């Protein structure tokens, strides 16, 4: 079941997650979620998060490698890409720190644009 994002008003940042052990979930991010997120505003920061790092095996069919994740993040023009494991409590805090950092950076950029346009 996919949710409609139109009910969101003024989101500060999106944290978009996919499973590192399910390539289809990354395809779903590309084909379903990112177009909907971008329709809300191209400048909303997006953090792409690969989950279940503890379950990923190298060269396993259907698993997403670090290189593939980074490639997709660049193609999708996300602000950050990070891989984590809740089971191992690995880089969970980093996900939220990246989201806060992206929001702060986005706010500063908008503030600078307003100053340039209006001289404030």
The 10 Å CB-count burial string (b at 16+, else e) for 75-108 is: ebebbbbbbbbeeeeebeebbeebbebbbeebee
DSSP, residue by residue, 48-89: EEEE-GGG--TT-TTPPPHHHHHHHHHHTT-SEEEE-BTTTT
Report the chain's mean pLDDT, rounded to a whole number: 88
- Give the residues of the chain that fall short of pLDDT 50: 1
Task: Please tell me the predicted confidence (pLDDT) of residue 7.
Answer: 65
Task: Please tell me the predicted confidence (pLDDT) of residue 97.
Answer: 95
Task: Please tell me the predicted confidence (pLDDT) of residue 120.
Answer: 55
Q: Which domains does the chain have, with CATH numbers?
A: 13-118 (3.40.50.300)
Task: Please tell me the predicted confidence (pLDDT) of residue 26.
Answer: 97
């Amino acid at each position: 079941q996919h949710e409609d994002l139109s009910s969101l008003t003024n989101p500060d940042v999106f944290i978009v997650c996919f499973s590192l052990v399910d390539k289809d979930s990354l395809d779903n991010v590309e084909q379903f979620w990112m177009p909907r997120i971008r329709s809300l505003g191209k400048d909303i920061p997006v953090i792409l998060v690969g989950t279940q790092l503890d379950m990923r095996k190298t060269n396993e069919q259907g698993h997403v490698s670090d290189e593939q994740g980074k490639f997709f993040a660049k193609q999708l023009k996300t602000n950050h890409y990070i891989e984590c494991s809740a089971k191992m409590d690995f880089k969970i805090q980093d996900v939220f720190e990246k989201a806060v950092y992206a929001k702060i950076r986005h706010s500063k950029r908008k503030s600078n644009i307003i100053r340039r346009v209006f001289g404030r």
